[in-house]
Structure 1
Amino acid sequence: MNAVTPRPAERTARPRHYLMCRPSHFEVTYAINPWMDPAKPVDTGLAVAQWERLYALYQELGHRVDLIDPIPGLPDMVYAANGATVVDGKVLGARFRNAERAAEGPAYLEWFRANGHPELHDPEHVNEGEGDFLVTAEYVLAGRGFRSTPAGHAEAQEFFGRPVIGLELIDPRYYHLDTALAVLDGDEIMYNPEAFSAGSREVLRRLFPDAVLADAGDAAVFGLNAVSDGLHVFLPEAATGLADKLRERGFEPIGVDLSELLKGGGSVKCCTLELRPRA
């Protein structure tokens, strides 16, 4: 069990390297999660404008952001976090459960091949990238129950050589781990207990006894679909209660409006794939 440590007096932002995909072809024409409703109008121009603000914020705060070209017919490609998982410079590709997204996995792997990432693994088993794999200092936390599979978790552990901790998701609204949990810094996390099975809640309590806990209201506006650079936490602006808790811990929350992209079941983290270099 990790010991409870004193909360640091000061936080430090560390430059990060992200990959994003502009939502030029974003639309909702099918439903593969509870947030998607093809009957609801989607404003692609608004989705692009909201995404552009997040893209600009990262750069304004000193982070490097690379872009992958969007492909017509792949409206969910904007959710770049699902495209791969990158740890210590090693790239584990994604294999999607739903046929509607299957072509995204090869498209993202091709980007990595073309951009100087030699250590690549094309997976045999279903995993949906950083949708279900979240990296702390010690572990790779891995969601299962709706998308990624235990076999995919084992494949990730073998490839990365890091302990992979499987966590069972039980609420279909929080179908990916990154909708129910976010890594803040090192082994600090925040999460929604109600999204997990009883056993997984106990695992999280043991490993992260000082975690920030989100209430149902902040979870429902995707407040946990967040990105942290160690100081700044980018999260949906509607998650005001969670923002207050983060301030108490010394973080600087930055509210972002990605309401149009929430119609596809994603927000800040879904749009952001972190490229972690070799340690």
Structure 2
Amino acid sequence: MSGIALVRKPGPRLAEGIVTHLSRSPVDAGLALAQHAAYTAALREAGWRPVEVEPADDLPDAPFVEDTVVVCGPLAVLTHPGAPERRPEVASVAAAVRRCGLDTVAIEPPATLDGGDVLQVGDTVYVGRSGRTNDAGIAALAAFLPGRTVVPVELRGVLHLKSAVTALPDGTLIGDRNCVDLPVLEPVEEAGAHVVPLGGDRVLMAASAPGTAAMLRERGLTPVLVDISEFEKLEGCVTCLSVLIPEKG
């Protein structure tokens, strides 16, 4: 598998990003920039071509591009983020996905939807009902995806669905049973619930989950570890720093 990896560099105001379920701790913007570069390099080395969205230095959460768009084949669903201060991030991401050749549709208010609440596994689309995504947002997304099965998921104590559960390349869900009522493989560490399938047996993971990485190696997978400590302080994980757009065909 290969294609485009949509990313956006963190700006100098990253430390001001929204924190909901964690206590705020100091964020090193310079280290975050270096970590983002290494994250992007890992995607490139796995065969994905990074495409950078226009910088948005006045928007602290802008590097978490996943929340602004949901890509389903040739369609890009532009979100209406649940946090009002994040809504200005969408326009520049919309321009980027259009340059990538995708058709766009948009979630309209009063519906709200964050991309971090959307987990696609084959023809099933799990959508977290969260503080950022409401029932109207779930219904609007379902209307844009005829032929897909959209499954709402109640969340407990996490920001987004993909803060609690993601999927391995074979479709196995991995995550925290305390946060979702789904059949999941439990990771060794909380950060191990977040994986990005890169193609084949490779999965991108945070370096803060070495035990889970070892478990996945025993299952025949090849973890690609990246240090994203500064983003984790803002409830970020490996999924939210990019949007993968597989090549056509």
TM over 0.5: yes
* Pairs within 5 Å for 1:170-185: 170-171=156-157, 174-185=158-169
Q: Which residue of 2 aligns with 1:187?
A: 171
- 1:149 CA drift (Å): 1.4
CA deviation map 1:73-105 (0-9, x unaligned): 111110111120000110100111112212112
Rg larger for: 1
CA contact (8 A) 1:261 1:267 kept: yes
Question: 10, 16, 37: which one pairs with 1:29?
Answer: 16
- Give the distance between the partners of 1:30 and 1:16, measured in 2 at CA: 29
Which runs of 4 or more aligned residues in structure 1 lie more than 3 Å from their structure 2 counterparts after TM superposition? 276-279
Displacement of 1:277: 5.3
Aligned mate of 2:91, from 101, 106, 110:
106
The structure in which a higher percent of residues are strand is: 2
**Are 1:213 and 2:200 counterparts?**
no
- Could you tell me which runs of 5 or more consecutive residues in structure 2 were left unpaired when the two chains were aligned: none
Cα deviation, 1:113-162, whole Å, max 9, x if unaligned, reads: 34432x21111110111x01111112111111321112211111110221
Q: 1:158 to 1:87 in 2, by over 3 A?
A: same
Identity %: 27
1:142 aligned onto 2:135 = no
Question: Aligned Cα RMSD in Å?
Answer: 1.9
TM-score normalised to structure 2 length = 0.91
TM-score w.r.t. structure 1 length?
0.82
The amino acid of 1:236's aligned partner reads A
C-alpha deviation, 1:24, in angstroms: 3.0
CA contact (8 A) 1:91 1:121 kept: yes
1:2-41 pair list within 5 angstroms: 14-29=1-16, 31-35=18-22, 37=24, 40-41=25-26
Supply the distance in 1 between the matched residues of 2:177 and 2:16 (Cα, whole angstroms): 31
Partner of 2:112: 126
C-alpha displacement at 1:26, in angstroms? Answer: 4.3
Matches within 5 A, 1:1-279: 14-29=1-16, 31-35=18-22, 37=24, 40-117=25-102, 119-124=103-108, 125-129=111-115, 131-161=116-146, 162-171=148-157, 174-196=158-180, 201=181, 204-205=182-183, 211-215=184-188, 218-219=189-190, 222-229=191-198, 230-276=200-246
Three-state SS of the structure 2 residue aligned to 1:28 is: helix
Aligned length: 245
Cα distance in 2 for partners of 1:188, 1:61 equals 21
Quick one: which amino acid aligns to residue 241 of structure 1? Answer: G
